[in-house]
Structure 1
Amino acid sequence: MSPKTPEQQWQWLQNGPRLQALSEACPEDWLLVRDELSAVFARRDPVELKQLVEKASKRVKPDARFLSGERNGRAFADFVRAQIRQRMSELALRQYAFSAATGVYTGKVRFNLFNGVLAQKLLFQHDLVRKPVSMRSFKLIWPLLWQKRLLMPLVEKRGIYCFYSQELIAELAKIIGQRRCVEIAAGDGTLSRFLSDVGVDITASDDFSWGKVLQYPESVQCLDATSALARFNPQVVICSWPPSGNRFEKQIFRKQGVETYIVIGSHSRFITGNWVDYEAQIAFDWQEDPSLSNLVLPPELKAGVWIFQRNAAGCGGYEA
Structure 2
Amino acid sequence: MAWLQSSPSLEELVEAYPDQWRLVQRETGAIIERNDADEVKAYITRVSQPEAPLPGRARPLRERLAAEIRRQMTIHLLKQAILSASTGVSEGRVRFNLLNGFVAQRLLFRRDLERKPVSLWRFRLTWPLLWQRRLLMPLVQPKGIWCFYSKPLITRLAGLIGDRSCLEIAAGDGTLSRFLADRGVRITATDDYSWSDSIDFPDTVLQQDARTALRIHQPQVVVCSWPPAGNPFEHHVFTAPSVQRYIVIGSRHHASTGNWTAYRSQTGFDLVVDEELSRLVLPPEVEHAVYVFTRAKASS
Label 1:55 to 1:151 Cα distance change in 2 as closer, same or farther (>3 A).
closer
Match of residue 318 from structure 1: none
- 2:63 maps to 1:63: no
Which deviates further from its counterpart, 256-265 or 87-96?
87-96
Match of residue 204 from structure 2: 219
Pairing partner for 1:123 from 89, 108, 112: 108
Match of residue 146 from structure 1: 131
Q: Distance in 2 between matches of 1:255 and 1:22?
A: 45
> Which runs of structure 2 are paired with 1:79-118 in the superposition (5 Å)?
81=66, 85=70, 96=81, 100-101=85-86, 103-118=88-103
Label 1:89 to 1:282 Cα distance change in 2 as closer, same or farther (>3 A).
farther
Structure 1 unaligned blocks of 5 or more: 316-320
Q: Distance in 1 between matches of 2:113 and 2:177?
A: 16
Q: Distance in 2 between matches of 1:22 and 1:305?
A: 40
Label 1:264 to 1:64 Cα distance change in 2 as closer, same or farther (>3 A).
same
Label 1:304 to 1:18 Cα distance change in 2 as closer, same or farther (>3 A).
farther
Q: Is the 8 A contact 1:97 1:271 kept in 2?
A: no
Q: Distance in 1 between matches of 2:6 and 2:252?
A: 24
- 2:298 maps to 1:306: no
Q: Distance in 1 between matches of 2:183 and 2:78?
A: 37
Q: Is the 8 A contact 1:189 1:217 kept in 2?
A: yes
Match of residue 178 from structure 1: 163
Q: Distance in 1 between matches of 2:45 and 2:103?
A: 42
Label 1:282 to 1:248 Cα distance change in 2 as closer, same or farther (>3 A).
same
Q: Distance in 2 between matches of 1:34 and 1:290?
A: 40
Label 1:20 to 1:295 Cα distance change in 2 as closer, same or farther (>3 A).
farther
Which deviates further from its counterpart, 255-264 or 83-92?
83-92
Q: Is the 8 A contact 2:271 2:292 kept in 1?
A: yes
The one-letter code sitting in structure 2 at the alignment partner of 1:192 is S
TM-score normalised per structure 2:
0.83
Structure 2 unaligned blocks of 5 or more: none
Q: Is the 8 A contact 1:183 1:238 kept in 2?
A: yes
Q: Is the 8 A contact 1:178 1:200 kept in 2?
A: yes
Displacement of 1:34 after TM fit? 2.6
Displacement of 1:234 after TM fit? 0.4
Label 1:216 to 1:42 Cα distance change in 2 as closer, same or farther (>3 A).
closer
Deviations 1:255-292 (A, max 9, x none): 11111111111233443222222222222221321211
Pairing partner for 2:24 from 20, 33, 42: 33
Q: Distance in 2 between matches of 1:304 and 1:180?
A: 23
Match of residue 278 from structure 1: 263
Number of residue pairs matched?
294
Aligned partner of residue 143 in structure 2, secondary structure = coil
- 2:185 maps to 1:195: no
Aligned partner of residue 157 in structure 1, secondary structure = helix
The one-letter code sitting in structure 2 at the alignment partner of 1:271 is S
Q: Distance in 1 between matches of 2:102 and 2:254?
A: 33
Label 1:245 to 1:103 Cα distance change in 2 as closer, same or farther (>3 A).
farther
Q: Distance in 1 between matches of 2:35 and 2:197?
A: 35
The one-letter code sitting in structure 1 at the alignment partner of 2:29 is S
Deviations 1:147-181 (A, max 9, x none): 11111122222221111000111111111111110
Q: Distance in 2 between matches of 1:86 and 1:287?
A: 36
Which deviates further from its counterpart, 24-33 or 229-238?
24-33
Deviations 1:217-276 (A, max 9, x none): 222112111121111100111111112221111111111111111111123344322222
Q: Is the 8 A contact 1:97 1:270 kept in 2?
A: no
Match of residue 20 from structure 1: 10
Label 1:16 to 1:62 Cα distance change in 2 as closer, same or farther (>3 A).
farther
Q: Distance in 2 between matches of 1:302 and 1:19?
A: 31
What is the CA RMSD across the aligned residues, in angstroms? 3.3
Q: Percent identity?
A: 48
TM-score normalised per structure 1:
0.78
Deviations 1:79-123 (A, max 9, x none): 764576567657766764575455555431111111111111111
